[in-house]
Structure 1
Amino acid sequence: MILVENLIAAVDALHLAERPVMLHASLRSFGTAVDGGADALLDALLKRGCTVLAPAFTEPQFGLPAPPDLRPARNGLDYAAPPAGSTCQEGVPYRVDCGLINPRLGVLAAALVGRAGAVRGRHPLNSFAAVGPRAADLIDAQSPDDVYGPIRELTDHDGRILLVGVGLNRMTALHLAEQRSGRRLFRRWARDEDGEIRMVEVGSCSGGFPRLEPLLAPLARSTVVGASHWRAYPARQVLAVASAAIAARQGITRCPEPGCLLCRDAIAGGPVVS
């Protein structure tokens, strides 16, 4: 069994103490039980003074179909197809205290959102949540019009991106690198706090991000806990290297799916928005 002391030792080995850390984790990657589950992983980081940031997305619960008069071209969507996996109640706007997340994010995101003292962003589809001493600083940077503000704050505070048993396809910060490379973010629809339907910016396909591995691997510190491979990356350097690589060769992020509309339109520059 993995104990919290083992997790704290890994945090120390990666020099994460006192830093903001954007966390992406798979508990299954440990290959054995973690005593305390996802909360133990959060506790290990918090005991070392870290602020933990993670995606808390809610596309299935609050995403709406595209209104007929708000359908930009090259937007990674087939507007004739119904939204996949939607559980949305169309009259209900997102609220930061809704307690919901996309189930695909896993138990870590659910545990973070439920923590006492956790702070959550106001973006209705791609909110982030954070807990720890700098949580408010990170999350206050997000709004419905600024989806990746918390990641910018992470870089400004010399933060780290921690992958626990997962690959680069889970590194949400690379969507900000796409934007910095010159791509426009995709548009989707949700109700704002007043119940009005509005467009908001979201990320694209992440299935091709592992193709950046040769460029990003030299930036990482690594350690192993049980069967779980941990990698900690400096956020500022990751964004600089990835943005330059995507700008130089847009097709570098193309995923293995030949018919991926998200990849096709992102590589072409993203949506055409007046």
Structure 2
Amino acid sequence: MIQPAQLSRAAGTLGLTDRPVMLHASLRSFAAPLNGGAHALLEALLARGCTVMVPAFTGHHFGVPPPPGMRPARNGVDYAALPDGEPGGSDGPVYDAGCGLVNPSMGVLPATLIGRPDAVRGRHPLNSFAAAGPQAAGLIATQSPADVYGPIRELAGREGAILLIGTGLDRMTALHLAEQRAGRRLFLRWARGDDGRVSMVEVGSCSAGFPRLEPVLGPFARTATVGASSWRAYPAKEVIDAATRAIAADQGITHCPDRGCLACRDSIAGGPVGPHM
């Protein structure tokens, strides 16, 4: 069984003490029971003085179909394939940071963090971030429906780190900020505002091709092992800057293995054209 002391030692080895950390973790990667589960992992980092930030996305719960007047071209969406329905109708939920929901695919860690009484969560209706720890409020305050990756910019500005526990670069959400800085417009999706009206908000693209950035980003990683789980910690600012340069030099570098991927095609071409937010 993996004990909390092992988690704390690994965090110290990676130089994470007293730093804000964006965490992506697979508990299955330990290949052994983790004493205390996701809660123990969060507590081990918080006890080191870390502020822990995670993606806590809710597109599954709060996304709505696009109204006809809000359908920009080159947006990673085949509008002709959308199901019939009443796009942009008056029914449907409005996101609230206290909703307690995350997409089922996000895993147990974000669900555990947002359940904490000290958790702070962003206002983006589809791609919110959540954090706990001494710098949580400052990180999350930078996010709004019109600025999805504000918390990642803030993380980098505070000399924060990105920690991958048993996961690959395809889970590194911060690389979407690098795409944006490299000249791509973020994709636009649809959600209801506080007034119940449908509006467009920015979201990221396909991330399945991000492992192709490994030769560029690998040298920045500090590594540790806990049980069977491989931990990799990256300095956020340096990694985002390096990825931005690599993407700007070769937009095709992030294309996923599916050569017909619509999201990759449209993102690499520059992202949406047409109606803006």
- Normalising by structure 1, we get a TM-score of 0.97
Name the structure 1 match of 2:59.
59
Query: 2:87 aligns to what?
Result: none
Output the CA distance in 1 between the equivalents of 2:15 and 2:240: 20
- 1:41 matched to 2:37: no
The 5-angstrom pairing of residues 176-187 of structure 1 reads 176-187=177-188
CA distance in 1, matches of 2:115, 2:149: 22
Match of 1:14 in 2: 14
* Cα-Cα RMSD: 1.0
Q: Secondary structure at the match of 1:187?
A: strand
More divergent stretch after superposition (255-264 vs 170-179): 255-264
Distance 1:273 1:93 in 2: 26
Structure 1 contact 62–90 (Cα < 8 Å) conserved: no
What whole-Å deviation, never above 9, does each CA across 1:39-70 have from its counterpart, x for those lacking one?
Answer: 01100100000000000000110001111001
Residues 74 and 270, structure 1, Cα contact 8 Å, conserved in 2:
yes
CA offsets per residue over residues 62-108 of structure 1, 9 Å max, x none?
0011110010000000012237xxxxx94210000000000101000
Q: Which residue of 2 aligns with 1:119?
A: 120
| Corresponding letter in the other structure for 1:227 | A
Query: Whole-Å Cα distance in 2 between the matches of residues 225 and 193 of structure 1?
Result: 44
Contact kept? 1:11, 1:17, Cα under 8 Å: yes
What amino acid does structure 1 have at the position aligned with 2:69?
D
Tell me if structure 2 keeps the 8 A contact 1:53–1:128. Answer: yes
CA shift, 1:258, in A, is 1.8
What is the aligned partner in structure 2 of residue 130 from structure 1?
Answer: 131
Q: Secondary structure at the match of 2:180?
A: helix
Compute the displacement of 1:193 (Å). 1.3
TM-score (norm 2): 0.96
Aligned in 2, Cα 1:122/1:133: closer, same or farther, shift over 3 Å? Answer: same
Corresponding position of 1:75 = 75
1:139-197 Cα shifts (integer Å, max 9, x gaps): 00000000000000000100000000000000000000000000000000000111110
Runs of 4+ that moved beyond 4 A:
none
| CA distance in structure 2 between the partners assigned to 1:78 and 1:64 by the alignment | 15
Q: Is this contact kept in 2: 1:64–1:90, CA < 8 A?
A: no
Q: Which amino acid aligns with 2:158?
A: H
SS, match of residue 52 in structure 1: strand
The answer on whether the counterparts of 1:23 and 1:163 sit within 8 Å (CA) in structure 2 is: yes
Amino acid in structure 2 at the alignment position of 1:40: A
Pairing of 1:231-246 with structure 2 (within 5 A): 231-246=232-247
**Identical-residue share of aligned pairs (%):** 67
Which segments of 5 or more consecutive residues in structure 1 lack a partner in the other structure? Answer: 84-88
- Correspondences of 1:240-259 after superposition (within 5 Å): 240-259=241-260
Name the aligned partner's letter for residue 213 of structure 1. E
The answer to whether residue 192 in structure 2 is matched with residue 160 in structure 1 is no
Specify the alignment match of 1:215 in structure 2.
Answer: 216
2:152 equivalent to 1:146: no
How far apart, in 2, do the equivalents of 1:122 and 1:231 lie? 29
Separation (CA, whole Å) in 2 of partners of 1:182 and 1:213: 21
How much has 1:273 moved relative to structure 2? 3.2
Equivalences, count: 269
SS of alignment partner, residue 270 of structure 1? coil
Matched residue SS, 1:266: helix
Q: CA deviation at 1:129?
A: 0.2
> What stretches of structure 2 of length at least 5 have no aligned partner?
84-89
